[in-house]
Amino acid sequence: MQTQTQRYYTPEEYLALEEISEFKNEYRDGEIVPMAGGTTNHHEIAGNFLANFKSTMKGKGYKIYMSDVKLWLARYRLYTYPDVMVISGTPVYEGSGTTIVTNPSMILEVLSDSTKKHDRTNKFRMYRTIPELSEYIMVNQYEYHIEQFAKNPDGEWILREYESESAVLSLKSIDFQIPFSDIYEGVIFDTNVEG
């Protein structure tokens, strides 16, 4: 029986390959991991949040980016593409370009069946190493359900869940509110899926 040896890449090799790749990949401490494709609901939710935030918070000193901007987590040697990142003030870049940031104050991930376990566990643990991060939002794309983790002044992460179509997501770290009707606008829930 043959055993395959796994190839490990340097961050520089990954970044060079990512420049020419047709698809996005994460870099996890030497390993290149293909990212799952997004659904229309996934894109609706991320786009709705970005558009609403950008128009409401115009001129207030925030930058907001969608999943084409990479995030570098030095402690875990991880390059990843959060669905939405908000930066308070000026972006801090990794390297000499403007494609990789290191200082989001809020991250939003749209959960999918293939990523929800990773987003809730390992990825959230890694995100918590970002000194500037004070809020992590996970949006379910299959039903009205949002999990909001906000860091309190003692450094503890406090969970608040929203499960009503009439709910309003109110950020703790930024003076910003958005109704579920705006977050989920254009989303079509599959009524044939169980559970």
Categorize the per-residue pLDDT at 194 as very low, low, confident or very high, splitting at 50, 70 and 90: very low
Residues 6 or more apart from 65 whose CB is under 8 A from it?
84, 85, 87, 101
Q: Considering the chain, what is the average pLDDT of its residues?
A: 92
pLDDT at position 55: 96
Vertex 16, ends 88 and 103: CA angle to 5°?
15
Categorize the per-residue pLDDT at 35 as very low, low, confident or very high, splitting at 50, 70 and 90: confident
pLDDT at position 99: 92
Q: Which residue has the higher pLDDT, 148 or 4?
A: 148
pLDDT (mean) for 189-193 = 66
pLDDT at position 195: 39
Question: Counting Cβ atoms within 10 Å, is residue 170 exposed (0-12), middle (13-18) or buried (19+)?
Answer: middle
> 83-96 pLDDT, tens per residue?
999 999 999 999 88
| 2-6, 69-73, 89-93, 168-172: least confidently modelled range | 2-6
Domains of the chain: 11-16+24-183 (3.90.1570.10)
Q: Is the pLDDT of residue 126 over 70?
A: yes
Categorize the per-residue pLDDT at 6 as very low, low, confident or very high, splitting at 50, 70 and 90: confident
Which tokens hold the place of 61?
Answer: 């000193």
The pLDDT > 70 percentage for the chain reads 94
Measuring CA to CA, how many Å separate 152 from each of 23, 91, 122, 172?
A: 37, 23, 21, 9
pLDDT at position 94: 94
Q: Is the pLDDT of residue 3 over 70?
A: no
